[in-house]
């Protein structure tokens, strides 16, 4: 086991930020911690890294007890924090070289690793730039390069794509998958369900410091009663027609607003044909029709009763 | 690891323009302004030869005794008067044009004519009063007892002074030095900006960089020490540049004990950095408020040490000596003062011991806070 956390509790006064959380990350995984802002993701990470005092629980990394002075553990960890942590007075190359040099003392090895990190995040054309001259996306990439240049076995990324343009976000996500392919175990926290769904092999969903679900994305989606979701851009549907649609078998729910008819099916059931039949028979004017399978947001919604983005 | 951290810390700090401005450029600008303002203070304190005229009439020509006295006072390196012999009308003209401070009419009563009051006019009057009293006394004694003439004259020649002027050193008194010495002390304590930045950059609860550094496999206190050494190196070199500018650019005299002056600057730099680290570690709040506290503490200390008003230092020394002792700016400036004015080292050593005491207390409290390995909140 790369990371083993049992029964972790962290309180700030009366607020329990992390509530009896247990977490186990296996070697080679991309483990996603998903939850809305304030759900306890960053607090959990800071406790795992021994930056924050915790009230209860046991934390092991690489099968050794984690502590602030556990330098033999720290040398194999790379951390990319939510906020960019670089020095404004150092250039891109100097920043990467500085942080890499805190882990790697051999000059030749360090030089090679720094060049690899620069290539990896695509900052070759910006090595002499100071951080203030970089765009938000490039700055995030520099932040990542500073955390991964020493080729750690475990990489922890805490919301690395906040306020990043789509191009840089894709680059970052591709990079994380590549790091995992090269052998690193990843812990990835985010409140963007699409990102977690896209790259993580196993996901833990947190809310108010508690685990509300854990598993692969397929396992999580199987936990809920919801199946296919059909959205029809339809015009002039009456309340009577809504009532008639609701009696179609295996329907979970029907809503109609802003000319969008949303029909959700029960798990494992398909209603696209039935809905299309009803629309045709009742001569309802319609535009686009699309069907989608449940998302992690649906999982979160069904378990907590609120949207993940709230 | 030391070289890696030290080298990058030097680079980082040297490229921090705001930091370099406040710790080096600002004291140099202030010193230049001080020099422009205080340049004439020393000049005003020097004794200038007084231009006087004697009306060259029959009375003067007959009074050989006065001629001899005034001649002695107008010759040599320590002459008191610059004397001209002219007629009364010309004397009046020269008095009106300000060419002379006054003129003397030598008749039975001896008169001095001036057209304004001032130090020079007072000196002429005091001289004339003293001359009149002495010559009158001698005349009276000789008239009553002519045989005492030789004794009286020898007594006048060998006037005994019952107090003795003892100089504690060869240094020339210069009241402007108080201002410059407190300015150097202020610049030393501006090193607190370095100390403050070191603490901010290494504490995970104060900066993002601190959080990242806390995750590196490097002992936090060792890292802090290496970084602080880089800060101290820059601060000390900046202080040497300031001292060189004061000495060679502005001609400020530090006396003959240059080695000890430099040692004092080094100790002062340590006190400054330690004070900044202490404020950074102990004060809750954001970095700007801590910078404000550093500036406030240094400027208050500088004011009490006489940087803005020289007499304040003496007032505080006299009435609130404990405040003087607890004011690092005052202790530092007093160290330079002691080196300049005193040949013995008692006062200097006491000051240096106090400064070392400040550093130890600041460093110890900072250590107690920095050694905490985990944070309650980030």
Q: Which residue of A has its CA nearest to B373?
A: A68
| Strand order from edge to edge, sheet including A285-292 | A251-257, A260-266, A226-235, A285-292
- Contact between A65 and A59 (Cβ < 8 Å): yes
Q: Where are the domains of chain B?
A: 2-41+175-370, 47-142
Residues A213 and A273 in one domain: no
Mean pLDDT of chain A: 89
Does A305 map to a domain? no
Asked if pLDDT for residue B295 goes beyond 80, the answer is yes
Q: Does A49 touch chain B (CB under 8 A)?
A: yes
A251: nearest Cα among A224, A220, A226: A226
Three-class SS of residue A25?
A: strand
Of A68, A71, A99, which has the smallest distance from its Cβ to B212's Cβ? A99
User: What confidence tier does A184 reach under pLDDT thresholds 50, 70, 90?
Assistant: very high
Q: Which of B8, B204, B214 has its CB closest to that of A90?
A: B8
State residue B222 phi and psi, 5-degree precision.
Answer: -65, -45
Query: Which pairs count as long-range contacts for A15-24, CB under 8 Å and 24+ apart, including other chains?
Result: A16/A209, A17/A43, A17/A209, A18/A43, A18/A44, A18/A47, A18/A54, A18/A209, A19/A208, A19/A209, A19/A210, A20/A56, A20/A57, A20/A210, A21/A57, A21/A206, A21/A209, A21/A210, A21/A211, A22/A211, A23/A204, A23/A211
Nearest to B11 among A68, A86, A94 (CB): A94
Distance from the Cα of A87 to chain B's closest Cα (Å) equals 7
Nearest by CB to residue B211, choosing from A71, A85, A98, is A85
Nearest chain A residue to B204 by CA distance is: A51
Q: Do B4 and A101 touch (CB under 8 A)?
A: yes
The pLDDT, as a whole number, for residue A310 is 44
Q: Is residue A272 part of a domain?
A: yes
Q: Cα(B246)–Cα(A118) distance, rounded to whole angstroms?
A: 47
Residue A137, pLDDT score: 86
Strands B50-55 and B81-86: parallel
Asked if B219 lies within 8 A of A69 by C-beta distance, the reply is yes
Q: What CATH number has the domain bearing residue A188?
A: 3.40.50.300
Residue B287 banded pLDDT, cuts 50, 70, 90: confident
H-helix or E-strand spanning residue B122 = helix B119-144
Scanning the structure block, which residue is given the tokens 């000596």? B321
Residues of A in contact with B208 (CB under 8 A): 81, 83-85
Measured between beta carbons, the chain B residues lying within 8 angstroms of A44 are none
* Token reading at B31: 């010193």
| A23 inside domain | yes
Smallest CA–CA distance, residue B2 to chain A, in Å, is 10
- The reply to whether A310 falls in a domain is no
Q: What is the CATH number of domain B47-142?
A: 3.40.190
Residue A30 lies in a domain: yes
Q: Is residue A300 part of a domain?
A: no
Can you give the pLDDT at residue B268?
Answer: 93
User: Do A153 and A273 fall within a single domain?
Assistant: no
Q: A51 and B211: CB-CB below 8 Å?
A: yes
- Quickly tell me which residue has 């900066």 as its tokens: B207
Say if residue A52's pLDDT is above 60.
Answer: yes
Q: How many Cβ atoms from other residues are within 10 Å of residue B227's Cβ?
A: 24
Count of domains observed in chain A? 2
* B48: CB partners within 8 A, 6+ apart: B120
Closest residue in chain B to residue A90, using alpha carbons only: B12
pTM for the complete prediction?
Answer: 0.75
Element (H, E) at B140: helix B119-144
CB–CB contacts below 8 A, A to B? 80
C-beta atoms of A50 and B373 within 8 A = yes
A131 and A164 part of one domain: yes
Would the CB atoms of A89 and B11 count as touching at under 8 Å? Answer: yes
Domain-ending residue, one of A205, A221, A237: A221
Residues A211 and A240 in one domain: no
Domain coverage including residue A130: 3-221
Of A51, A71, A103, the CB nearest to B378: A51
Straight-line distance from the first to the last Cα atom of chain B, in angstroms, rounded to the nearest whole number: 27
Q: What's the pLDDT tens digit per position in B72-113?
A: 888 887 788 888 888 888 989 988 888 898 898 887 778 888
Contact B213 A75 (CB under 8 A): no
- pLDDT tens digits for B204-260? 888 889 989 999 999 888 999 999 999 999 999 999 999 999 999 988 888 788 899
B213 inside 8 A of chain A by CB: yes
CB contact under 8 A, B12 and A85: no
- Pair A139, A249 in one domain: no
A92 by Cβ neighbours in 10 Å (0-12 / 13-18 / 19+) ranks as buried
Q: Which CATH number characterizes residue A258's domain?
A: 3.30.70.100
Average pLDDT over residues A195-214: 91
Distance (Å, whole) CA A300 – CA A213: 9
Q: How many of the other CB atoms lie within 10 Å of CB of B352? A: 20
Residues A82-99 have a mean pLDDT of 94
Residues 54-73, chain A, touching B (beta carbon < 8 A)? 67-69, 71-72
Q: Which residues contact A88 (CB under 8 A, 6 or more apart)?
A: A130, A131, A132
Q: Please compute Rg for chain B using Cα positions.
A: 31
Interchain proximity B217–A72, CB inside 8 Å: yes
Q: Are B215 and A75 a contacting pair at CB < 8 A?
A: no
Residue A265's DSSP bridge partners are A251
Phi and psi for A227 in degrees, rounded to 5?
-120, -130
Q: Determine which of B1, B11, B217 to mutate to test the interface with A (most A C-beta atoms within 10 Å).
A: B217
CB interface of B with A, residues 336-365, below 8 Å: none
Q: Which residue of B has its CA nearest to A80?
A: B212
Do residue B204 and residue A98 have CB atoms under 8 angstroms apart? Answer: no
Indicate whether A46 and A190 sit together in one domain: yes
Same domain for A278 and A189: no
- CA B342, CA B349: separation in Å to the nearest integer? 12
For residue A309, being part of any structural domain is answered with no
Q: Rounded mean pLDDT of B189-211?
A: 90
Indicate if the pLDDT at residue B43 is higher than 70: no
Dump pLDDT digits (tens) for A259-290: 999 988 887 777 788 888 888 888 888 888 88
pLDDT higher for B150 or A192? Answer: A192
A139–chain B Cβ distance below 8 A for any pair: no
% chain A with pLDDT above 90? 53
Co-location of A19 and A83 in the same domain: yes
Name the domain boundary from A221, A241, A265: A221
DSSP secondary structure, B157-210, as one string: HTPPPSS----SSSPPP-TTHHHHHHHHHHHHHTTHHHHHHHHHHH-TTT-HHH
B317 touches chain A (CB under 8 A): no
């Amino acid at each position: 086991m790369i990371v083993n956390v049992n029964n972790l509790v962290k309180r700030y006064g009366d607020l329990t930020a992390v509530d009896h959380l247990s977490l186990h990350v296996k070697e080679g995984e991309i483990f996603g911690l998903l939850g809305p802002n304030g759900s306890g993701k960053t607090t959990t990470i800071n406790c795992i890294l021994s930056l924050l005092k915790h009230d209860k629980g046991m934390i092991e990394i690489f099968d050794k007890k984690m502590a602030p002075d556990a330098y033999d553990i720290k040398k194999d960890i790379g951390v990319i924090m939510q906020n960019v942590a670089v020095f404004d007075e150092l250039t891109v190359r100097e920043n990467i070289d500085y942080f890499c040099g805190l882990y790697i003392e051999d000059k030749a090895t360090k030089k090679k690793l720094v060049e690899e990190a620069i290539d990896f995040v695509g900052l070759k054309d910006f090595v002499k730039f100071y951080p203030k001259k970089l765009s938000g996306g490039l700055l995030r990439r520099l932040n990542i390069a500073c955390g991964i240049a020493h080729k750690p076995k475990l990489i922890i990324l805490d919301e690395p794509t906040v306020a990043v343009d789509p191009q840089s976000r894709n680059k970052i996500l591709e990079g994380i998958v590549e790091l995992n392919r090269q052998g690193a175990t990843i812990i990835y926290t985010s409140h963007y369900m699409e990102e977690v769904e896209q790259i993580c092999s196993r996901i833990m969903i947190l809310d108010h410091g508690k685990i509300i679900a854990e598993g692969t994305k397929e396992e999580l989606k199987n936990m809920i009663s919801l199946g296919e979701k059909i959205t029809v851009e339809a015009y002039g549907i009456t309340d009577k027609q809504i009532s008639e649609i609701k009696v179609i078998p295996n329907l979970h729910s029907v809503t109609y607003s802003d000319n969008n008819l949303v029909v959700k099916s029960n798990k494992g059931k398909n209603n696209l044909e039935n809905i299309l039949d009803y629309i045709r028979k009742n001569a309802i004017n319609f535009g686009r029709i699309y069907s989608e399978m449940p998302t992690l947001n649906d999982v979160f919604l069904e378990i907590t009763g609120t949207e993940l983005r709230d | 690891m030391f070289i890696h951290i030290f080298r990058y810390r030097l680079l980082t700090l040297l490229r921090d323009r705001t930091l370099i401005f406040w710790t080096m450029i600002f004291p140099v600008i202030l010193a230049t302004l001080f020099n422009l303002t205080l340049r004439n203070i020393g000049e005003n304190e020097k004794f200038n030869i007084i231009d006087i005229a004697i009306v060259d009439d029959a009375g003067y020509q007959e009074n050989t005794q006065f001629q001899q006295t005034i001649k002695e006072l107008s010759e040599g390196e320590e002459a008191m008067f610059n004397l001209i012999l002219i007629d009364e009308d010309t004397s009046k003209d020269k008095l009106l044009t300000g060419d002379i401070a006054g003129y003397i009419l030598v008749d039975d009563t001896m008169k001095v004519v001036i057209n304004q009051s001032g130090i020079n006019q007072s000196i002429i009057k005091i001289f004339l009063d003293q001359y009149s009293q002495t010559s009158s006394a001698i005349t009276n004694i000789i008239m009553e007892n002519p045989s005492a003439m030789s004794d009286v004259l020898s007594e006048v020649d060998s006037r005994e002074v019952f107090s003795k002027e003892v100089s504690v050193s060869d240094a020339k008194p210069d009241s402007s030095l108080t201002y410059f010495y407190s300015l150097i002390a202020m610049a030393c304590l501006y090193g607190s900006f370095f100390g403050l930045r070191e603490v901010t950059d290494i504490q995970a609860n104060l900066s993002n960089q601190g959080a990242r550094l806390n995750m590196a496999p490097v002992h936090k206190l060792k890292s802090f020490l290496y970084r602080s050494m880089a800060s101290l190196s820059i601060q000390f070199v900046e202080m040497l540049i300031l001292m060189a500018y004061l000495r060679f650019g502005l001609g400020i005299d530090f006396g003959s004990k240059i080695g000890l002056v430099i040692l004092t600057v080094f100790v002062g730099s340590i006190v400054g950095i330690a004070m900044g680290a202490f404020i950074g570690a102990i004060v809750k709040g954001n970095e700007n408020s801590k910078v404000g506290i550093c500036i406030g503490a240094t400027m208050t200390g500088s004011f009490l040490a006489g940087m803005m008003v020289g007499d304040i230092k003496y007032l505080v020394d006299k009435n609130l000596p404990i405040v003087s002792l607890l004011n690092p700016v005052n202790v530092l400036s007093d160290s330079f003062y002691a080196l300049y004015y005193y040949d013995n080292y008692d006062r200097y050593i006491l000051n240096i011991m106090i400064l070392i005491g400040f550093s130890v207390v600041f460093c110890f409290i900072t250590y107690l806070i920095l050694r905490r390995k985990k944070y309650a909140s980030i």
